[in-house]
Structure formats: structure tokens, C-alpha cells
Homo-oligomer: A and B are copies of this chain.
């Protein structure tokens, strides 16, 4: 059935795919081997003409090496992208990891000019670091307006909860990226901010009509288009009132009519990952790709099966189900996008950056990391936590395995340890601290220690948000305060949780909030809560004696 497809058609259609690989060099190192192509498959697909790769995992040295490898394996210029909304360091160790965009939105309310400048710097830094590693396309900014505080998957990734703020900041981000000749991507059209469902897990529904979208969700996308955004990513959302039969990614009306014609977008339209459950629960791998392409999408991101996607699109073009014009348009847009970046990263095998001669993170990058942390931290009470040799450092995270938040050297563990606090982590695979009592939810018999310092790492993480929504941390704070056991609180991530907890917190309790969860953010939060511990001197503290594993 597929043998009748002309090879040159196959090769052209293959250009429109963006497949996934790890930035690690070896197959055995893949963090998600079920989703990341093995080297031999990857090499075959590139030789068959696949035109884009999205990279995950590894370090910046590995990423730079990997991008050179991919270019060597391919016969044509590639689109190389990554999901680095918050900096290279979010995905690739060694890059800068900035506080999440929501941190800048909070600054906007006090000083919009400063916030806009920070957003431009944010894009500039990501663009520079991405280009240095060999990437030419950054899958950011998130243009969703986080109007729903319970949003499990957008949350702090959004540039705000008001459409004008999001529009101003994302436009500045796009400007910063463009200055480094790296392609930008506004996502997730037509707006994923008002959902309560994680589309990684299921299909979110939205009841908004087109009028509401125009007044709110579409504002940042329209601004992004005005400011020259290079691509738009569709979200896997069903808008009942607008196109009840098609999710946005498959909606001819939303894509070809609204986004292309009415909003006038001439750049690349790319699907969100087609391996997400919102899609795979409902459509086969070939059909999903065809439906997206047919609706007006140009690029197919992470198809469940690249070969099935290519064949199905070819057959749809050959049968006339999709006009051939669509293929030519998409290929032209892709070529034009590559022209924009080709001066910055050519297809030679030269390294883009020499890690031997220069620190990868520039002084400006470092200053931006620090400034975003410092300006976004909120201190409830400038009272320090006392050292306590029987203290308990109770940490809540989504997951500890391969965690980038809690590593061996995480200040969240090391600094309280010097202050006498023993660490206890509750996570998705730990014995739960709960007992069956809603008003006093935590089982204190688990803790033979004195006062408890509570650190909550909570933000909208794909796949994990449900875990949190079942945990009664407001009630825990009430319970611990009643028992006079709470010595301090640190919240990293969600401002919504922080505000809920503020409502019940004792006025006298030391408490700090940071939108960022990184090691740098932890160090800053804990320098406020434990000011007597000199962090620069903790290097050789005898309590931190381990030096090998």
C-alpha cells in the first residue's frame, strides 16, 4: 500500500517532521527510551529526510556534541529545537536556569518597564545559549494566560494571568530571542491557560466562544505575530463552542481561518507533541498527523510513529484528501525560517562554542539568574529560624528519581543540616506522612524530632500535578502551628499555594516564597531563613563530609 509512494514525495513530507532524541550520545543513557529514538533509528530517519529534531536531557557539552552529530547525519539543514522555556539549564545541565516567567509577571505589577526589559534579557540569554549549543529554534514563549489558578500544567510557566501583561512580556522575550537569530514559538494556541486538565494525561475542554478568545486568550498570540514570532504551537484542547468536532490541533477553522487568515500569521505552525494522551487515546499515529496537516499545520512534532506519519500524509496528498499546495506552503515556510537562522548556525561540524576557553554562562546570564531570584522572592517575616539539633527538615517534592531540584548538593538539604535539621523527603514513592484525619492530616508519630521546618516544592509539572492536589498542606500548617511544632516555611514554585498558606500562617512564623526551585533559589531562600550560616564557608563543614559515592 505504501510502496507506491514516490520517494521524492516521501522525502519532502519527511522534512515536516520533528522527531525526538536524547542529547546523550549513547542509547543506554536515554532518560525516556520509549520516546527517544535509538541512534540507528535516528540516523535512518535523518537519511530519509526528516527535517527536525527536538532534544531532551544531558548537559550543554553533550547537547553541543549532539547537534553537530545530527547535522553530520543529515543531508539537509535541520531545525533543532528544545523545550527550554526557562533557560537551557531547565533541560541541559550547565546552562542557565532562570526563575519561571510568572516571576517576571509579578515584577510587572510594580514596574512594567523593568519587567519588559527583564523579559527581553531572558529571551536574549536563552537565544545566545541555545545558539552556542547548536540549537536554532526555541519552543517558547508560553503565550497562555494563566487565568485558572488550578491549572495543573501551565501555572508558573505562564508570563502572567492577565492578557496584556502576557502580551507585553512575551513580545519582549521574542525580541530578545530574535536578536540572537534563534527562532521563537508562541504556544499553546489558542490558549491553554484556563484548563484544569493536563493534556499530557487527557483532553482538556474549554467552553469559551470566539468572542471570549479574541478578548483574552488570543491577545498575546496576536501580539506575538505583530512582533514577528517565527512559529506558533497548537494546543491539544477541545473548544466545544467553536469547533466541537475537532481539537484545536486538528481544527481547520481555528488554524486556517482564525490563525492564518484573521490573525494573519505567515510563519510556521507546529503541533504540540502528538504522543500526548489527549491525541493517542483518540487517533492512530497516521491519522493524527494527517488531521493536523490537513487543518493547516506545517510541522508535526513527536509523531507516535514517524514512518506511519510520513506514509499517511503522502497517501492523503496522493489521494487528494490534502491538496499538494499545502505541502509546498509548509516546505516554503520551513525554508524561509531556516534562512533567518542560517547565518548564526551553519551546517558545518565546527563546534559552536569552546568550553575550554570561556565559561558557558556569561556574567550577564549569571546576573539575570540572580536578579530574577532576588526580585521575585517574597519574605513574610524577616525572622530567622533557630538552629535546632533535633529539628526536622520536611521536604515535599513530586519525585526524587533523577530529580534536578533535589540533588546531592541541594542547599535545601545541606543548609538545614548544618543548622541541625535532619532531612525527610515525602515524594511520589515514599511512605506517606498522612493519617486518616482531615483536620490533623499528618501523622506526627513518624517524626521523633522537635520543631519542623517545612519546604514545599510545588509547581505545575506535567504528569505530576494530581499528586499535589490530593495533599492537604494548608491543614498540615494549621496542625503543626497548633502543636507549636512549625519553625519555618519555604515554598518554591506556585504563588497560588503560597497565598493559600499565607492566609493561615502565624504572623510570627519565618516564611519565604520563591517562584524558582533551582539550587540558586534554594540558597537565597535559606540565606534569609538561616542567616547565621555562612554559605561561602560551608564547603568544608564536617557535617557535609561525603565526597564520593
Partner of A548, one of B24, B200, B540, B545: B200
Say whether A34 contacts B540, CB under 8 Å.
yes
Residues of the B chain whose Cβ atoms lie less than 8 Å from the Cβ of A277: 545
* Residue A262 CB within 8 A of the other chain: no
* Residue A410 CB within 8 A of the other chain: yes
B-contacting 9-mer, from A25-33, A163-171, A229-237, A286-294: A25-33
A34 to B411, CA, bound (A): 13
Shortest beta-carbon distance, A172 to chain B, in Å? 26
Say whether A549 contacts B430, CB under 8 Å.
no
- The 8 A CB mask of A5-41 against B (1 = contact, 0 = none) is 0000000000000000000111111111111000100
Using a Cβ–Cβ cut-off of 8 Å, how many residues does chain A contribute to the interface with B? 73
Residues of the B chain whose Cβ atoms lie less than 8 Å from the Cβ of A403: 401
Partner of A34, one of B56, B201, B431, B547: B547
Given contacts A94-B24, A430-B431, contact A83 B548 (CB under 8 A): yes
* Residue A319 CB within 8 A of the other chain: no
In the complex, which residue of chain B has the Cβ closest to the Cβ of A31? B408
* Residue A470 CB within 8 A of the other chain: no
- Number of copies of this chain that the complex holds: 2
In the complex, which residue of chain B has the Cβ closest to the Cβ of A428? B423
* Residue A462 CB within 8 A of the other chain: yes
Shortest beta-carbon distance, A269 to chain B, in Å? 21
Given contacts A200-B548, A402-B407, A429-B425, contact A59 B355 (CB under 8 A): no
Say whether B25 contacts A360, CB under 8 Å.
yes
* Residue A175 CB within 8 A of the other chain: no
In the complex, which residue of chain B has the Cβ closest to the Cβ of A94? B26
Residues of the B chain whose Cβ atoms lie less than 8 Å from the Cβ of A118: none
B-contacting 9-mer, from A60-68, A144-152, A333-341, A471-479: A60-68
* Residue A93 CB within 8 A of the other chain: yes
Residues of the B chain whose Cβ atoms lie less than 8 Å from the Cβ of A406: 401
Residues of the B chain whose Cβ atoms lie less than 8 Å from the Cβ of A204: none
* Residue A433 CB within 8 A of the other chain: yes
Partner of A408, one of B32, B408, B413, B519: B32
Partner of A355, one of B25, B56, B355, B399: B25
User: Can you pick out 7 interface pairs between chain A and chain B where the beta carbons lie within 8 Å of each other?
Assistant: A29-B94, A273-B547, A401-B408, A425-B429, A430-B430, A430-B431, A431-B431
Question: Which A residues have a C-beta under 8 Å from some C-beta of B?
Answer: 24-35, 39, 56, 58-62, 65, 68-69, 72-73, 83, 93-94, 200-201, 273, 275, 277, 355-356, 359-361, 395, 399-404, 406-410, 413, 423-426, 429-433, 446, 461-463, 519, 538-540, 544-549
List the 7 shortest-distance A-B pairs measured between CB atoms, nearest first: A34-B539, A26-B94, A35-B547, A25-B355, A431-B431, A400-B400, A69-B356
